[in-house]
Structure formats: structure tokens, C-alpha cells
Amino acid sequence: MEIVRSAPVNDSTLVSSSIGDNDDYANYNAGTTYGLGDVVIGPDHHEYESQSAGNTGNALSAGAWWLDRGMNRRWRMFDLSNSSQSSDADVIDVSIAVSGRANAVSLLNIAADTVQIIANTVADGEIYNRTFNLTSDSGINNWYDYFFEPVIRQGDLVVTDLPVFGNPTIQVIATASGSTVRIGTLIVGQLMYIGMNIGPGTRLGIQDFSRVVADDFGNWTLVVRPFSKKAEFKAWIDNSRIDAIAAFLATIRATPCVFNSDGGYAALSIFGFYDDWSIEIPGETESYCSLSVKGLT
């Protein structure tokens, strides 16, 4: 089990993006008169939709005049929702300057054919360059499946083998030639290895926020809403690391991170937070760390 804590991405650390801040809408101008349904970009990179005609000079924080629709397309991959996706035709190319160290990149809820990750530093030049094919072989157990089953793309990718250098710039290039590339979450950060995952102690599921309601006559109404992953992780840890792990887990309380199993299952990569953890110490050398994780929608 491993945890990736996100390095902050903001105006100063987002070096470049193939998606422009104003690719869809113009920046808000207090001197412009907006009509009902007009959309602008605020200084916080959120999209705001005008709720009335003749909308002039009203602050974006005025809820009677403006509806906050969340981050714009350029920034959705960096918000706290895994279901909101940055998207663009053929390719999304993003570079992030990290202050300190980062040896992990996580892309969740993605739609792409390949992902290339390149890391550079000013002093050392290129220190990492690797391309990942997202074609999934899950469920392909024989040659018939290989040739006749539909091609499925891997929806989550967690890369943890970047070399540890100070202040790297990390470039992520996701491509899908002739199609739309989508990224729900992009996390660049430092990996904390907790311990070897114990398969029989791990549980995976989702919490669905959809509504299924029946009226008095038995007619059902289905309202499809987002869902979030949830998991119960259990890992072996060395007793010499108990204090370090306990201190680290205390520092990331109420902090969104990427929680990842070391068992190779993409389904066990979750962007969220823990709501409970415990360490059981049965012997002198090894212990169990249990972690309950709730994903963000």
C-alpha cells in the first residue's frame, strides 16, 4: 500500500497546458453587460453563468446574478472532483513545476490511448521519459479473447518510479489520436510507502449517490448521480516504521491523496481521504496497518 500526497498546482506551478484558460469563454469584465446564460471565467478559474439579462457590474460572488459551475476545462483535472474532466481533442499536454521532491504521477478517470511522462531539472536535464500504453489486458485469458473481445482502455494510471531529484518539472502528455482525451484527476507528488498489501484483508467497493425512488403506484424514477470509490486496505509494516507511519498519517488527515494498492490492480487506486486507520502490533518485528478510505466523486 502506498500514498501519494499531491504537490500544489496553481498559477505559479502550472508551467504550461495545451488547454488555454479562455479556450471556451472570455474573462469576466465588470464593464460588460451579460445576458441570461452567458458564461465567463473568473480569476479563480471557475466558470460563472449569468442568471439574468442586463447583468452589469455584479460581483461573481453574487449568487442571485451568477451560478458557479466549477473549474473551467483547463483546471478540472486539478480540482477535488474525480468525475469532472479536463478534455481536448487528440492530446492534453501539461507541465508542472514541483517545489521540492516528487517521484509519483497519478492519472485517474482518464480516457486516452497512451500517456507519456517526462521529468527534467535545470541542473540535470532530462531524468525520466517513459510512455505507457493504456490498453488493458484485464479479462483476456486466451487467444479467442485477445482477438475478439472489445479493446478496453485502462482508466487509472499510477506511476511511482520517477527518480528523486529536487525541484523537477514534470510533463504529462496524454494522447488519443482522432478522439477526445479526458483526465479526471492529475496528481503529482511524493510517494509514501506504507507496507506490502495483504490481499485477504483488502476490500473494494463504491458508494453510489444515485436515487431510485418509487411512487405510490410502483412507478420507479431513476436519477443517475456520481459515485465514489471506497476501500479497506490492510498492509504488513515493519515495527521499526510504526512511529514514522503514524506521524505521516496524522499529517494527511482531511487531506485528499491518492491511495494505491501495490498489488497491481488499477481499481484500487483511489483519490480521496481516510476516515479511520489503526495499527495492530501482534509481535516484535511486524504489524498490520488498516486504513479505511473514501474516494471523492
What is the pLDDT, as a whole number, of residue 147? Answer: 58
All residue ranges of the chain with pLDDT < 70 are 137-152, 199, 263-264
What is the pLDDT, as a whole number, of residue 255? Answer: 92
DSSP 242: H
State the residue for C-alpha cell 486504513.
Answer: 291
pLDDT in tens, 160-193: 999 999 999 999 999 999 999 999 999 999 999 9
Map residue 100 onto helix, strand or coil.
coil
Cβ-contact 185, 77 below 8 angstroms? yes
208 dihedral zone (left: phi>0; alpha: psi -120 to 50; beta): beta
Map residue 147 onto helix, strand or coil.
helix
What is the pLDDT, as a whole number, of residue 185? Answer: 95
What is the pLDDT, as a whole number, of residue 200? Answer: 75
Map residue 148 onto helix, strand or coil.
helix
What is the pLDDT, as a whole number, of residue 264? Answer: 67
**CA 30/CA 57 separation, integer angstroms:** 4
Map residue 76 onto helix, strand or coil.
helix
State the residue for C-alpha cell 446574478.
Answer: 65
134 strand-pairing partners: none
Distances (CA, A) of 266 to 10, 30, 286, 296: 27, 46, 27, 16
State the residue for C-alpha cell 490492510.
Answer: 234
pTM over 0.85: yes
What is the pLDDT, as a whole number, of residue 9? Answer: 93
Domain 20-72 = CATH 2.60.120.260? no
Report domain extents, the chain.
20-72, 196-295
